Amino acid sequence: MFDALLRLQLAPIVERLAQMETQLEDLFRRAESFCRIGVCQEVDAASNTCKVRHGELLTPAIRFFNPSAGAQTEMRIPTVGEQCLLLNYGGGEGGGQSVALFGLNSDRFPPLSSVASLTSQRVVEVGIAPFKTLRQRCQSETEARSVAQGELRRVGREGLSITIDCPGNPLLSAEGLLLLDETWPGYMQGRWSIDKVTHVGDTTTGYRSSIMARGLAS
C-alpha cells in the first residue's frame, strides 16, 4: 500500500525528470553541432556559396564569410580543400542554416611563414612611385599583377588624347567608342572616346581616316 502511494506521488516528478533528460540530450546535440571544423568541397563563386564536409556529412550550398560586405565590399573566394570553421546558427542537423568562416591553416595549406613578425599579405607594385593602393585581394601574384597593370592603363588614359591614322572606315564617327586591344602599347589599351574623325581620299594615299580621341576612365 505504501509503495503504491509513493509511486503515485513520485510519478509526476519521474515524468518531468525524463522530459528534462530528453531536453538536455537535445541541447548537448545542438551544442556539439553548433561549431565544427570542416573542409571546403565545392565552390560556386556566382552565388557566393560553397559546400563543406565535416566528418562524414556534407552541407548543402551555404554562404561563406567575406572580409567586408557593406558599402565597401571585399570578396575572397575560398579554395577547394581549404579548412574552415562551420557555424550552425540555426541549430539544425542538415547544415542548411550554417555559414563557413575560412582562413584556417592546415597541412594542405600551411602558413606562409613561421616568423611571427612577418605578415602573410604580399604586395605587388607596378609602375613607378608614388603608388596607388588597390583594396582588392587576389589569389596569386600573377592575378595581382594583372589587376594592377589594368588599373595603371586605366589611370594612364585619363586626360590623354591620341591621333590615329588608319585605312578609311566610313563607320568611324565622332562620339563613338574606340577599343584598342593588346596589340597596342600598354598605356593605350582600353576604351577611348572619339572626338573627331576626318576622312580623306586621294590618288596617292587612297582612302584614309584620321581619328582624334581622348582616354576614358574605364
Cα(18)–Cα(25) distance, integer angstroms: 11
- Reported as a single tens digit per residue, the pLDDT across 164-194 is 888 888 888 888 888 888 888 776 778 888 8
Residue 94 pLDDT: 64
Kindly report which listed range (51-60, 120-129, 184-193, 194-203) carries the lowest average pLDDT score. Answer: 120-129
Residue 119 has pLDDT above 60, yes or no: no
Residue 6 has pLDDT above 60, yes or no: yes
With beta carbons less than 8 A apart as the criterion, state whether 198 and 213 touch: no
pLDDT tier, 214 (very low <50, low <70, confident <90, very high otherwise): confident
CB-based contacts of 34: which residues, under 8 Å, 6+ apart? 87, 88, 91
Cα(150)–Cα(116) distance, integer angstroms: 34
Average pLDDT along the chain:
80
- Reported as a single tens digit per residue, the pLDDT across 17-43 is 777 877 777 666 666 667 889 999 999
CB-based contacts of 91: which residues, under 8 Å, 6+ apart? 30, 33, 34, 97
Of residues 63, 92, 83, the one with CA closest to residue 75: 63
For residue 157, give the 3-state DSSP assignment: helix
pLDDT tier, 102 (very low <50, low <70, confident <90, very high otherwise): very high
With beta carbons less than 8 A apart as the criterion, state whether 36 and 83 touch: no
Cα(76)–Cα(64) distance, integer angstroms: 9
For residue 62, give the 3-state DSSP assignment: strand
Residue 146 pLDDT: 82
pTM for the predicted model, two decimal places:
0.44
Cα(145)–Cα(89) distance, integer angstroms: 39
